[in-house]
Structure 1
Amino acid sequence: MSSTVPFNVPPLADEVSDAVVKVLDSGWITTGPQTAAFEQEFADHLGAAHVVAVASCTTALELCLRAMGLPPGSPVLTPSLTFCGAINAILHAGHRPVLVDIDEDTLVPSPETVAAAAARVKPAAMVTQNQAGYPVDVPALAAAAGLDRSRIVEDTAHGPGAARGGAPVGSSSFAACFSFYATKNLPIGEGGAVATSDEELADRVRAMRLHGLSKDAWKRYMPGGSWRYDLKTIGLKANMTDVQAAIGRAQLRALPDWQRAREELVARYDAALADVPGLILPQRGLPADVRHAWHLYQVRVPDRDVVGDELQAAGVATSVHFIPAHQLTAYRELLGEEECGRLPVTDRVAEQLLSLPLYPGLSPDGQDRVVAALTEALRTRG
C-alpha cells in the first residue's frame, strides 16, 4: 500500500525544541539543574516523596536491587512475560530469577501464581510488572510471596498513567521504576526514574547512578563547589542528562492530554472490535478504583504470526509483548528446562498476543484501517 499505519509515533510537546536549545545554550548539558527540576516535577505528578532520574528503566531496576544489599545469588521472583531487560537487571545485580506464571485475564502474576513460585524457593525479593499499563495489586502479591514491601521492586515501565485505590502508581511505592523510552507513555527517547517513599533508598540510588560518588559534577563544579569527592559504594554510570530532563519536563506537561487520548482510542477499539469472531480483547470489568495506563492495546488472536503478517501486508504495523523470557535461548540455558517448564498459562497466552497501534496521534482513519485489516484477517479464519 502507499502508506502504513505505524505501530508507534512518539508525541512531542510544542515546547520541546525550545527547551533543548536553552539547555545547549546554558553550557551545562549533563546531570544538573534540569535533571533536579524534572525529578521534582515528576515526583509532584505522581505524588511521590522522592524521584531519582536514571539512564533507563533497566538500570533503575538493577540499582534498586543492588541498593537492597541482598546476599549474592538471592532468588528474585519475576514474571516470564516481560522484556529481557527486567530479567537482565536481576542477573546483573548478582541474583537468580525465579519465573512466575500469569493470570490469563490480567496478563500479570496473581497471588496464586506468586504463592506457587514462592513455595519452590524462599524468595529474597520480587520484581512486579504492570503489563500494558495494568496496575498490579502490590500488597496482595507481596503477601503471597511472604515479602515486606521493602523487598518489592515495581517495574512500572508501562506507566505512568495507571492508578490503584485512587493513587497513581509509584506514589507510595518502596521502589517503582519508570521508563521514558521512545515508545512509552512519557517518551523522552531514553531514560528512566525510580520513585520511592524511602529517603534512604533514594539517597543510595542517587549515589549509585554516578558510580557511587558522594557528589555529582554539578555540585563539584558549580560556584562555591569543591572538586573533592568520596566513593561510598560501588555503583554504575547510569545518570540522566539535562538535555533529556528538559525534554521530559516539556513532555510531562502534555502527559494528561495524551493519557486522555489513549483512553478515547481504547474505547473506540473496544466498540469497533467487540463482535469480531475469534478475537479476545483486553480485560474489562476492572475495579472502580483501578485506572489502566493503556500503554499497549493487546488482543489475542489465533494464528498470531500469520495474522500479524497479513496486517503488515495491509499496511498496518503491529508488535508482540513479549517473547517470554523462558523461551529465549540464553535464559533456558541459564535456568534449566525444569524451571522453564512451569509456566503453562504464559506459554499458551504468549502465542496469541498481538499489540495493535496505540499512540496519542493515531487518527480515526488510521484506527479504522487497523480495525478493517484485523477484521478481514480473522474473517478468513472464521
Structure 2
Amino acid sequence: MSAAGQTTVPFTVPSFAGEVSDAVVKVLDSGWVTTGPQTAAFEQDFADFLGAAHVVAVASCTTALELCLRAMDLPPGSAVLTPSLTFCGAINAILHAGHRPVLVDIDEDTLVPSPETVAAAAARTRPAAMVVQNQGGYPVDVAALTEAAGLDRTRVVEDAAHGPGAARDGAPVGSSSYAACFSFYATKNMPIGEGGAVATSDPDFADRVRAMRLHGMSKDSWKRYLPGGSWRYDVKSIGLKANMTDIQASIGRAQLAALPGWQRTRGELVARYDAALADLPGLVLPQRDLAGVQHAWHLYQVRVPDRDALIAELEAAGVATSVHFIPASHMTSYRAVLGEEECGRVPVTDRVAEELLSLPLYPGLSPDGQDRVVTALTGALRARS
C-alpha cells in the first residue's frame, strides 16, 4: 500500500503460461531433473524461434557472457569494449573471464553505443573483443559496431538479455550472431525465474560453450548415463558450473509458446503510453520507428527532469518504477579497477543516466494500472512546468 492507501502498481510482475505447472510435474515424475532431454528440446525450440543455427542453454545471461568470452580464448587481460550503461553482471563477466573492460559511451537517442562512440573507444586501446547490448529491447546494429571497433565478428558478443522479440532488418536478434546471450530472469520478457542461453551460428563455438557450461567435461551426465554410455570423460578446458536444468527447460518451453502473445501485449501497452505521454513537458519518450528496427519493449525508458524526486512522488502515488542502469563508471569497485580517467570517458552516459526512468511494462499490466501510472506521472511533471 502507498502512503495514500492506494494499491501499488508494481514495476513488473512475471507472467507464466498455464501449461507450466503440468510441464514441471512431468519432469519431476520422469526421474531426471538436471540437464537432459528437456534442456535439449528447449535449445531446439529456442533456436527455431530465433532462426539460429545453435542454442546452448545455461544458468544465466551473466554466465553466458563469461562463457562466450572464455570460449574465444583471448589472451589474459585483453581489452574488451562494453557500454558503461549496462547491468553490473555484464562488467563482472568480462572481469571474471580475466579481461579488462573498456567503457564505450552511448548515443543519447537510442541509449546504445553508436559507431562513432565505439570507434572513439577503440582508438584509445587495442580491443580484442567487444560486448554490445540491446538496451531495453532496442536491437543494436551489430555489424556496424563490429566494423567501427575494427574487430572480426568472431570477437563480438551480443548481450541480448533484453532482446527476445526484437529484430533488425527482419532478422530476429540472435538469428545470425556469432555469440548472442539471452536472459530468462524473472523480470525478462520470457521469464523462467533464472536461466540464460547462447545462440550462435558456429557449431564449433557451440560445442565449446556446451562443454564449458559443465566444468569443461567432454560428456554431461545425460550422455554418460544413457544406455550404452560410459562413465569416462575428459576435461579439455577449464569451465564453469553453469548448466540449465530440465525443470527450468520445461518451464522455458511452455513460456516460449506464450511469448508472441505477450510481445503483442507489450506493443499495445507501449502505444497507449506513447499516446498518453506525448505532450508532457520535459519528458523524452523512448526511441522507436527507425527503419528496419523492431523493438522488443523489455523496458519503457523515458527521460525526465528531477528524476530521483519524481520517483519518490510516484511511489507516494502508488506507482513503482525502476532505473536502468546505474552506469558502471559510477560503481565503487569498477572505479577502483578501471581508474578515474577511464570512468570519465563516458560523458553522455553520465548525463543521460541521471534522467532515465523505467515505467511499469509487463503483459499483466491492466489498463487501469497503466492509467494510474500516466495520471501520476502527468501530475508530477505538469506541476514542474
Q: TM-score range by the shorter chain?
A: over 0.9
Larger deviation: 224-233 or 6-15? 224-233
CA positional deviation for 1:235: 0.2
Query: What is the identity, as a one-letter code, of the residue corresponding to 1:202?
Result: A
Give matches, 1:310-325, under 5 Å: 310-325=313-328
Q: Is the counterpart of residue 292 in structure 1 residue 295 in structure 2?
A: yes
Match of 1:196 among 200, 224, 228: 200
Structure 2 counterpart of 1:301, one-letter code: V
> What's 2:15 paired with?
11
Q: 2:346 corresponds to which residue?
A: 343
**Structure 2 counterpart of 1:185:** 189
Q: Distance in 2 between matches of 1:309 and 1:27?
A: 49
TM normalised by structure 1 equals 0.99
Fraction of identical pairs, as percent: 84
Q: Specify the alignment match of 2:371 in structure 1.
A: 368
- In the alignment, the residues of structure 2 paired with residue 252 and residue 290 of structure 1 have an alpha-carbon distance, to the nearest angstrom, of 22
How big is the shift at 1:285?
A: 3.4
Out of 136, 142, 151, the position equivalent to 1:138 is: 142
1:216 aligns with 2:217: no
C-alpha distance in 2 between matches for 1:133 and 1:118: 25
Aligned position for 1:304: 307
Q: What's the secondary structure of 2:351's corresponding residue?
A: helix
Q: Take 1:9 and 1:25, find their aligned partners in 2: how far apart are those partners?
A: 29
Distance in 2, Cα, partners of 1:284 & 1:145: 25
Whole-angstrom distance in 2 between the partners of 1:241 and 1:303: 44
Amino acid of the structure 1 residue aligned with 2:174: G
Quick one: which amino acid aligns to residue 98 of structure 2?
A: G
The Cα offsets for residues 228-264 of structure 1, whole Å up to 9 and x where unpaired, read as: 1111111000000000000000000000000000000
The alpha-carbon deviation at position 2 of structure 1 amounts to 3.2
Note if contact 2:84-2:103 (Cα within 8 Å) is conserved in structure 1: yes
Structure 1 residue 165, shift from structure 2 partner: 1.2
For residue 159 of structure 1, report the CA deviation from its aligned partner. Answer: 1.4
Structure 1: which amino acid aligns with 2:279?
Answer: D
Q: What is the match of residue 118 of structure 1?
A: 122
Q: In structure 2, the residue corresponding to 1:177 is in which secondary structure?
A: strand
- Does residue 252 of structure 1 match 2:256? yes
Structure 1 Cα separation of the partners of residues 238 and 288 of structure 2: 45
Q: Report the 3-state secondary structure (helix = DSSP H, G, I; strand = E; otherwise coil) of the residue aligned with 2:164.
A: coil
Equivalent of residue 31 in structure 1, options 30, 35, 46: 35
Residue ranges of structure 2 left out of the alignment (5+ in a row):
none
Distance in 1 separating the partners of 2:143 and 2:302: 28
Superposition TM-score, scaled by structure 2 size: 0.98
Q: 2:162 aligns with which of 158, 164, 182?
A: 158
Let me know the Cα RMSD of the aligned residues: 0.6
In 1, Cα distance between the equivalents of 2:265 and 2:354? 29
Amino acid at match of 1:62: E
Letter of the 2:115 counterpart? P
Per-residue displacement from partner, 1:317-359 (whole Å, max 9, x unpaired)? 0000000000000000110000011111001100000000000
Determine helix, strand or coil for the equivalent of 1:342.
coil
Deviation of 1:105 (Å): 0.1
Q: Within 2, Cα distance between the matches of 1:93 and 1:59?
A: 10
* Aligned residue identity for 1:367: Q
2: distance between equivalents of 1:180 and 1:270?
Answer: 27
User: Secondary structure, in 3 states, of the residue corresponding to 2:191?
Assistant: coil
Q: Distance in 1 between matches of 2:289 and 2:72?
A: 36
Instruction: Give deviations 1:138-178, integer Å, cap 9, x for gaps.
Output: 11000000001000000000010100110100000000000
The CA deviation at 1:4 is 0.7
**1:359 pairs with 2:358:** no
Deviations 1:51-98 (A, max 9, x none): 000000000000000000000000000000000000000000000000
Q: Is the 8 A contact 2:314 2:376 kept in 1?
A: yes
Pairwise CA distance, 1:306 = 0.4
Paired residue secondary structure (1:174): coil
